[in-house]
Structure 1
């Protein structure tokens, strides 16, 4: 694998981890989104990653899977969106799971960024050797 190959593969990892970070941040931002029981709850988004076609091609986002539209019913009779029985619908998002995913996506992004930096430094060192 060449230095440019390493940069290309790491950049695909950066893209996937950025999409994952975007999905997790969207989920966390909407964890307290309340809806009427007649509406669907906010649907959490989950990134599906897959190996890119071909040898040493990296990874790609294969799709986005959405969570349950059912959510969870919470008794809040004082809420203006509450139904006749006093219930509202919240998304079925586990905050601790999302925080764990946030940390994993962040660390993956950092690792891929480090690969790009190391490959760039190696390329620059090779250019300096060639100039000597």
Structure 2
């Protein structure tokens, strides 16, 4: 089992960067499809995607890493809007809209972005420590 704390720190931060990158991609897809309707009358529109994280022990370093365990769909009801001219409108003129709440998506995006930036800062600090150690060995 590796006891190098800098290596473990880098593995943890890298796993978090990858997980938050996936989360940002899913949030971006949700935002991009927030007004996407079905193709035929009464058909279902885009369904909001969700990300589930899970912890995982790295056997080599003993570090607890994070990874995306599942990309699922939100089972919440679709919103309905009266739009009789829309090709996706049902017999009463209502169109089903995605179950995407822009406030929730913006909050998720902000949280994922901050987590990504924090982990990126950890990688930068670890790199500086490695460079400092190399400089000390040269002297």
TM-score range, shorter chain: over 0.9
Q: Summarize deviations over 1:6-53 as a string: whole Å, max 9, x none.
A: 111100000010010001000000001112453222111111011113
Distance 1:65 1:44 in 2: 9
3-state secondary structure, aligned to 2:31? helix
Answering whether residue 20 of structure 2 is matched by residue 13 of structure 1, we say no
Contact 2:43 2:88 in 1 (8 A): no
Q: Select 1:42's aligned residue among 43, 46, 54.
A: 46
Q: CA RMSD in A?
A: 1.5
3-state secondary structure, aligned to 1:77? coil
Deviates more, 1:68-77 or 1:39-48: 68-77
- For residue 64 of structure 1, report the CA deviation from its aligned partner: 1.1
Q: Select 1:31's aligned residue among 12, 29, 34.
A: 34
Q: Select 2:113's aligned residue among 106, 111, 115.
A: 106
Q: Summarize deviations over 1:64-118 as a string: whole Å, max 9, x none.
A: 1201375122110121222221111111111101100000000000000000000
Answering whether residue 74 of structure 2 is matched by residue 67 of structure 1, we say yes
Contact 1:50 1:61 in 2 (8 A): yes
Gaps of 5+ in 1: none
Contact 2:35 2:97 in 1 (8 A): yes
Pairing of 1:89-104 with structure 2 (within 5 A): 89-104=96-111
Distance 2:87 2:64 in 1: 52
